Structure 1
Amino acid sequence: MELHGRLILFTFLHGFLLLCMNTPMESATLPSCNTFGNETDRLALLDLKKRITQDPLHVMSSCNDSLNFCNWVGVTCNRCTKRVVILKLTTQKLAGSLPKSIGNLSHLTGIDLVNNSFAGEIPQEIGRLGSLRSLNLSRNSFGGKIPSNISHCAQLRVLRLSIK
């Protein structure tokens, strides 16, 4: 190969390596990436929507099949896996209860439902959320005992459960 050809090849490979090194791993196409989302997460969110008995601000109207669930109000998904990582519905005047299926949102790192009117018991299934780091259910009307298996949430660093 002549010197000019080697120089072009070297320049191409150098540029390719720089591009690879500057590309965040999360946006790289990996076999685990799922552009269509996760059906388990979608069904759990729809179950939560069914449990909402009052929604005067129509927050839950975005929760339908015309939008991917990652675009629903209060839902944050991992960009690559399309799994729900944060559920944040603070001060939305919502009333209802938490379904057992909340435990199916297995990639959740944060739940923030502060200052609404959720009631009933906190489901035991919340103990299945092994990645949960923050749980803020304060300023709601939950009753009953704190689920004993919340200790299974080994990453839990913030737990807020106050009354209105």
Structure 2
Amino acid sequence: MKPHGRLILFTFLHGILLLCMNAPLESATLPSCNTFGNETDRLALLDLKKRITQDPLHVMSSWNDSLHFCNLVGVTCNRCTKRVVILKLTAQKLAGSLRKSIGNLSHLTGIDLVSNSFAGEIPQEIGRLGSLRSLNLSRNSFGGKIPSNISHCAQLRVLRLVSNELMDPFRTNSVHW
């Protein structure tokens, strides 16, 4: 092949390569990302916000319909599925209680509400979170019993409940966990 022919071939192949690199990454072997998210997750987060009674740092002010729920403070979503995977509101001076709707965040792998003023019982619906790996509710004012169905969280590896007012599961009196 003559030098001029090689240059044309090289330019042609270079152009093809550039086109391929700029093409969207959607094929039969790669899952395409869901850009819409999940209405169940959005509603569960807004329901959780309703139970916040004190928010001196105004953390929850972003929790409204003006932003996609994956962009809310303390919320981490899976990049492709747009499902909530982590709820992390550590030391935000929040007061309130957890709602049963927390069980609707079915893709949660982590909940971290350490060092707030959450009170009331830990909802039984936590037991519906089959993907939950870490639950840290330490340094709050949760009371009542630890949900009995928490054993349904088969992936749970970290459970931290210290400094709450939970009942001793083997006695009828409350202890400071």
Shift in Å at residue 66 of structure 1? 0.8
Structure in which a larger fraction of residues adopt helix: 1
Q: What is the Cα deviation at residue 32 of structure 1? A: 6.0
User: Aligned partners of 1:155 and 1:30: how far apart in 2?
Assistant: 26
Which structure's relative contact order is higher, taking Cα pairs within 8 Å and 6+ residues apart?
1
Q: State how far apart, in whole Å, the 2-side matches of 1:34 and 1:139 are.
A: 36
Q: CA deviation at 1:34?
A: 1.7
Task: State the 1:12 CA deviation.
Answer: 8.3
Cα displacement (A) at 1:36: 1.5
Please, which moves more after superposition, 12-21 or 139-148? Answer: 12-21
- Where do 5+ consecutive residues of structure 2 fail to align? 161-177
Which position in structure 2 is the counterpart of 1:71? 71
When the two structures are aligned, how many residues end up with a matched partner?
160
Q: 1:21 to 1:64 in 2, by over 3 A?
A: same
CA gap 1:65/1:78 in 2 versus in 1, 3 angstroms: same
Structure 1 vs Structure 2: percent identity of aligned residues? 93
Structure 1 pair 52–79 and aligned structure 2 pair: CA distance change class (3 A): same
Larger radius of gyration: 2
Partner of 2:103: 103
Q: Are the equivalent residues in 2 in contact too, given 1:135–1:159 (CA < 8 A)?
A: yes
Inter-partner Cα distance in structure 2 for 1:52 and 1:106: 21
2:26, 2:32 within 8 Å by CA — same for their partners in 1? Answer: no
2:61 is matched with 61
Measured in 2, the distance between the counterparts of 1:103 and 1:153 equals 11
Distance of aligned partners of 1:73 and 1:90 in 2 relative to their CA distance in 1, 3 Å threshold: same
Range that drifts further, 122-131 or 20-29:
20-29
The aligned residue for residue 168 of structure 2 is none
Matched position secondary structure for 2:64: coil
In structure 2, distance between residues paired with 1:20 and 1:136: 45
Name stretches of at least 5 consecutive residues in structure 1 with no aligned partner.
Answer: none
TM-score normalised to structure 1 length: 0.81
In structure 1, distance between residues paired with 2:81 and 2:109: 14
Confirm whether residue 140 of structure 1 aligns to residue 140 of structure 2. Answer: yes
Aligned to 1:19: 19
Distance 1:136 1:128, change over 3 A: same
Structure 1 7/64 Cα, relative in aligned 2: closer, same or farther at 3 Å? same
TM-score, normalization by structure 2: 0.75
User: 1-side partners of 2:135 and 2:33: how far apart?
Assistant: 27
**How has the CA–CA distance of structure 1 residues 61 and 3 changed in structure 2, closer, same or farther, with 3 Å as cutoff?**
same
Alpha-carbon shift at residue 33 of structure 1 (Å): 2.7
